[in-house]
Amino acid sequence: MEITLTTPALLFSTISLILLAFTNRFLALGSRIRTLYDRYQDNHGSSLLAQIENMRLRVNLIRLMQLYGVVSLFLCVLCMFCLFAGLVTLGKFLFGLSLLALLVSLGLSTREIHISTQALNIQLESLSLSQEESDAR
């Protein structure tokens, strides 16, 4: 397989955009956790506690997603340096590792999306119960 500087350079920009998306997810989740925490201080509902626990797991997954994304980016840059220095075999190896780290990061992202869907279902279930109680009155 022929690998040139442009091959990891394409991955470089992709990883940067993915890291930006992961950071935005983290910031939005952090804001939501603070809001739920304030609501939980006023009302110790089990639904709120379940959502907060769900978000704790999601924060940990996002942290791992970011970690593997950064490792992928680091290996990609190191690969480019090796290719620039003429160390093609090492560059190929580092590029492969970079792709593996990116796959792990994307796999974790898929899991986090699944968990966030569960959190939305908790919220919708809580809403349905509240609506049923209102209708019964």
Contact partners, residue 136, CB within 8 Å, separation at least 6: none
Distance of CA 53 to CAs 59, 69, 111, 125, Å? 10, 24, 16, 16
Question: pLDDT tens across 8-46, in order?
Answer: 777 878 888 898 998 898 898 888 888 887 887 787 767
Question: pLDDT tens across 99-109, in order?
Answer: 999 999 999 99
Which residue ranges make up each domain of the chain?
6-131
Residue with tokens 């968990």: 115
User: What gap in Å lies between CA 59 and CA 89, rounded to an integer?
Assistant: 37
Query: Distance between alpha carbon 132 and the CA centroid of its chain, in Å?
Result: 35
User: What gap in Å lies between CA 4 and CA 1, rounded to an integer?
Assistant: 10
Q: For position 103, what pLDDT does the model report?
A: 96
Q: Considering the entire predicted model, what is its pTM?
A: 0.79
Question: pLDDT tens across 48-80, in order?
Answer: 777 778 888 889 999 999 999 999 999 999 999
Q: Where are the alpha helices (DSSP H) in 43-87?
A: 46-84
User: What gap in Å lies between CA 6 and CA 2, rounded to an integer?
Assistant: 11
